[in-house]
Amino acid sequence: MQESSHQQGKQPSWVFDPFAPGFDANPHPQLARLREEHPVYFWETGRAWMLGRYDDCVSALRDPRLGVSIRAWRYAHELQATPLDSVYENGLFALSAERHTRMRKLLSPSFTPRAIATRQPEIQAIVREALDRVASSSEFDLVPNVSAVIPVRVIGRYLGIPRDQEQVFRDFASALVAGVNPVLRSQLPASAFQAAAEGRELLLRLIAERRRHPGTDLLSELIRAEDEGDKLTAEELVTVVRSLVIAGAETTTHLISLGLVNLLAHPTCVERLRLDPKLFPNAVDELLRFDFFGRIGTARYTLEPVAFCGVEIGPGEMVIPMLSAALRDPRRFPDPDHFDIDRDQRFNIAFGQGAHYCLGAALARLEAEVVFSEFFKRYAAIELVDGPHFEPHPVLRNATSIRLRVIPRTTPRDSPGPG
């Protein structure tokens, strides 16, 4: 067994830096080096082990010797406590295996592809509403007008958040997303903690109301959800909603943003998608594989010694499966730097793997499909005129501006596409 270079105090001379200038625009050269030359890499800045290869990432996500609770991290005691900690510590990702299995059983029926498909008209209406707002502009910014507004609105409407409370819900979502990094959480402004508390109050009020007057929204559905007499408490329901917002808002925003940019760079694929919308699901998965928006992967914590590529990692360490590197691993994806919407996606791990596999995968896929197909239906031509421009973000490549020039079709709703 090779002793880890970290333990020997010998770091490789090459330094992987996911915050280096240019990483956001094109992380792939650095990710390739990580994967090919330093597949098990101790990242000093984050005090974490990074895994660059597909098989190691899959093993880490499936191996019970790696836990999800940050309490197992040897540096956890150094983190400054904040009022938001319990949100993440009790979130779906961090629950013990037993509680997690119970929650997933209660939630899963509402997130199957079939259940999500029934929401298509609602999602389509939200997307059309956003695009109608920029209908008179031949140039607009994709991010603030479309990709950053749609995911939170979709979750909010799915839950049945009243329209006059949407801003409270949006501020709640922004605060939870901003607090995701445990090291930076204590630096959040007081307004973020306030917004998180107001969001919780709003949800508790709505839960009480829906218990009296159930509707067809997700919150009512989850209140009704029952497994052998087992039901979710109000606090658990709040936890679930928080997890949905944390996991489903920004991720889907970046899928839409970088996804559209990558599609525009491949006009033949756009043409094929216009003519045959059945190609969308595979194309959306390929967009995630080809240019995954994660800067740093999801974290796990070693409960016992584990080894990857012959490097032993002791207990109490943070391990980060770098999905962005793994999704271009040539050992699993032939010709990985080639964008191919016909590629076999069975091994795609953009939505994770194992017990914590993304609950919202069907929703994210459907949102992206509806947005892209609506764009191709409305516009005869779409041109990228500026961007993507990125702003700092602890875990994602955060595209905040993508300017597009568009030429509308003369008969916008006549061309092919779902719905």
Cβ-based nearer residue to ligand HEM, 390 or 405: 390
Sequence-distant (≥ 6) Cβ neighbours of residue 36 within 8 angstroms: 52
Near ligand HEM in 344-403, by CB under 6 A: 350-352, 356, 358-360, 363-364
239 is an interface residue for ligand HEM by CB under 6 A: no
Tokens of 382: 């779409």
Which residue is nearest to ligand HEM, using beta carbons?
360
Q: Which of 387, 381, 417 is nearest to 402 (CA)?
A: 387
Near ligand HEM in 218-237, by CB under 6 A: none
320 is an interface residue for ligand HEM by CB under 6 A: no
Strand partners, 141: 403
324 is an interface residue for ligand HEM by CB under 6 A: no
147 is an interface residue for ligand HEM by CB under 6 A: no
Q: What does the alpha-carbon distance between residue 104 and residue 79 come to, in Å, rounded to a whole number?
A: 29
User: What is the pattern of x (binds ligand HEM, CB under 6 A) and - over residues 75-114?
Assistant: -----------------xx----------x----------
Nearest-approach distance from CB 156 to ligand HEM, in angstroms: 11
Tokens of 240: 């679930």
Q: What does the alpha-carbon distance between residue 29 and residue 75 come to, in Å, rounded to a whole number?
A: 31
Nearest-approach distance from CB 356 to ligand HEM, in angstroms: 4
322 is an interface residue for ligand HEM by CB under 6 A: no
Q: What does the alpha-carbon distance between residue 172 and residue 196 come to, in Å, rounded to a whole number?
A: 5
Write the DSSP assignment of 107-166 as a string of letters. HGGGGSHHHHHTTHHHHHHHHHHHHHHTTT-SEEEHIIIIITTHHHHHHHHHHT--GGGH
Residue of 60, 116, 149, 155 that binds ligand HEM (CB under 6 A): 155
Q: What does the alpha-carbon distance between residue 60 and residue 321 come to, in Å, rounded to a whole number?
A: 7
Near ligand HEM in 245-304, by CB under 6 A: 247-248, 251-252, 255, 288, 298
Q: Residues interacting with ligand HEM, by CB under 6 A?
A: 61, 92-93, 104, 155, 243-244, 247-248, 251-252, 255, 288, 298, 350-352, 356, 358-360, 363-364
